[in-house]
Chain A
Amino acid sequence: RKEVEQDPGPFNVPEGATVAFNCTYSNSASQSFFWYRQDCRKEPKLLMSVYSSGNEDGRFTAQLNRASQYISLLIRDSKLSDSATYLCAYPGTYKYIFGTGTRLKVLA
């Protein structure tokens, strides 16, 4: 089993829609998790951290389900500018362990 698994997508959604991505992880000892946003051919940028049950920032909500070992990212009222790849990650020893990312396309 991969350490971090994500559905690669793409998720094609209309503007204004609500969309959710899941990310499953194998290391039950992991305490904190991250969602990164990566635009095409650019570096990943931190979107949100999750270290307890959840975190909310405007239209974005991240939740952690330790029992089932997954984290989710919910985007409400999608904007065209939300189109990007969303990577989940958690810190291992010396490094971050990333999933392959989920592509989101928000359509006009």
Chain B
Amino acid sequence: ETGVTQSPTHLIKTRGQQVTLRCSSQSGHNTVSWYQQALGQGPQFIFQYYREEENGRGNFPPRFSGLQFPNYSSELNVNALELDDSALYLCASSLGNPGLYNEQFFGPGTRLTVL
């Protein structure tokens, strides 16, 4: 196990609702990245948090927002849910920017279904 935890594991919402997903990073890791993985696709980068600040963002609308707390845990919030938001949401933690010498470790993911 990587030590990265996410909650909840599964979630069902309806269009227009709001959702908050949570991630606890691996001990000692100060960087959390969020990815969305739709069925049959690879993970797509949403944003990264480092020292409680958004440090980079992918091609996602502003209704996707996040937070990082002093203990490096993080939240992903999605407002005004759409059907296409149904996906596996993955959190990954690393020590600094992920790369060859800074492996990122994925949590088990939260499977969101929007009806």
Q: Is B42 a contact partner of A98 (Cβ separation < 8 A)?
A: yes
For B66, what are the chain A residues with a Cβ–Cβ distance below 8 Å?
none
Within 8 A of B (CB), among A9-66: 31-32, 41-46, 49, 51
Q: Is A43 a contact partner of B100 (Cβ separation < 8 A)?
A: no
> Counting chain B CB atoms within 10 Å of each CB, which of A4, A93, A96 scores highest?
A96
Q: Is B43 a contact partner of A94 (Cβ separation < 8 A)?
A: no
Interface string of B77-90 (1 = CB under 8 A from A): 00000000000101
Q: Is A96 a contact partner of B108 (Cβ separation < 8 A)?
A: no
Interface string of B9-45 (1 = CB under 8 A from A): 0000000000000000000000001000000111111
The answer to the question of B58 belonging to the interface, with a C-beta cut-off of 8 Å to chain A, is yes
Shortest A42–chain B CB gap in Å is 7
For B58, what are the chain A residues with a Cβ–Cβ distance below 8 Å?
95
Distance in angstroms between the alpha carbons of A42 and B106 in the assembled complex: 10
For B62, what are the chain A residues with a Cβ–Cβ distance below 8 Å?
none
- Nearest-neighbor residue (CB-CB) of A94 within chain B: B56
Given A4-B42, A8-B40: A96 touches B100 (CB 8 Å cut-off): no
Within 8 A of B (CB), among A90-108: 91, 93-101
- Nearest-neighbor residue (CB-CB) of A49 within chain B: B100
Interface string of B92-106 (1 = CB under 8 A from A): 100001111001101
Given A41-B88, A91-B98, A94-B56: A99 touches B42 (CB 8 Å cut-off): yes
B residues apposed to A, CB below 8 Å: 33, 40-45, 48, 55-56, 58, 88, 90, 92, 97-100, 103-104, 106-109, 111
